[in-house]
Structure 1
């Protein structure tokens, strides 16, 4: 099922409140229109950045040692989380809904593993989660060689990241309508709280 069909089905089942969240997050895309940066990108980025800051403070002030995993980079990428998310959206051509599913997958993976979301792990986890989401709900998608170039990793590395994520999720990629709605509501509410409302300014941003 395409993400557009998914959103339509959810809207029909749940009524106007869900539809309001989809519109606010920019999940609807009209065919033929020039792509704009949907608000979900800035709100998701803000929530991830908050988690990274919180986790890095925890690691610094405790005796906990962050164990290196496949998702750890040697150093933090030069791109901010928001810049990276926008890059993925712009070049992968995936639907905005993929970023909602990506957050679901990231949360599930973190709960099932010992991974800590930090500046060394968030970018690799993001590209893997968006790729998995695109393959699961979008009607069309690219191969991993292309996604690897978008994400700034090698094809071999992305293949490993994708498989690690899938096995960590036990290949349970289905997201219920209620869960999808809950994440949309949380993104809309908590994302605005984190950004202080500035996420609204990104609604009409065109991608060049």
Structure 2
């Protein structure tokens, strides 16, 4: 199983303009792998039987545009997603990724930033109702054993790999 951190280390830097492109590329790759494995289409609570109409890239763009949170929150979201895959065996797929993205962002914002909005605000950004947002937050925290912390070293690893990828991208575009 590929992790986001492994992908950041090996990703080709072509056409990555910003954090949205990077996040979308990594997440789309993981979702494609999860969609191929039909036997493990584990749904993220509560079950979602319809595919969302918005693309993953457009959804990530929406989260970046309307979520008043720091870059560090988006990095923490990637760390949480890796933890869900590695520690909980959760498979990302087209049915659960949108919910996982908004929920990891909510938890990372509440944990990481000094200023954050309530779940009603984030439910509007994420396109779900507030009751579902509350259930998703509780379910994700349960899966993470109510541990939203991350070691400083691990956070620096992810951040450094993202910065290195953008540096490689900039170098490639200059040559």
Fold shared by both chains (TM-score > 0.5): yes
- Answer whether contact 1:44 1:191 (CA < 8 A) is retained: no
Give the number of aligned pairs. 156
Say if 2:108 is the partner of 1:129.
no
Aligned equivalents of 2:137, 2:101: Cα separation in 1: 10
The equivalent of 1:28 in structure 2 is none
**Matching residue within 68, 77, 95 for 1:120:** 95
Structure 2 length as normaliser, TM-score?
Answer: 0.78
> Paired residue for 1:105, among 80, 83, 86?
80
Deviations 1:125-181 (A, max 9, x none): 000000000001111111001100100011000101001111111121112221112
> What residue number does 1:40 align with?
19
**Residue 24 of structure 1 aligns with which residue?**
none
2:36 aligns with 57
SS at match of 1:163: helix
Query: Is 2:142 the counterpart of 1:163?
Result: no
What's the offset of the Cα at 1:192? Answer: 9.1
For 2:112 and 2:101, the matched residues in 1 are separated by 16
Choose 1 or 2 for highest CA Rg.
1
CA contact (8 A) 1:88 1:127 kept: yes
Q: Give the corresponding residue for 2:154.
A: 179
CA contact (8 A) 1:144 1:159 kept: yes
* C-alpha contact (below 8 Å) 1:51/1:117 kept by paired residues: yes
Structure 1 residue matching 2:49: 3-state secondary structure: coil
* Corresponding residue of 2:50: 75
- 8 Å contact from structure 1 (residues 106, 129) kept in 2: yes
1:98 to partner: Cα distance: 0.6
Answer whether contact 2:109 2:116 (CA < 8 A) is retained: yes
Give CA-to-partner distance per residue, 1:61-107, whole Å, 9 cap, x none. xxx24244415422221222121112112112111111100011111
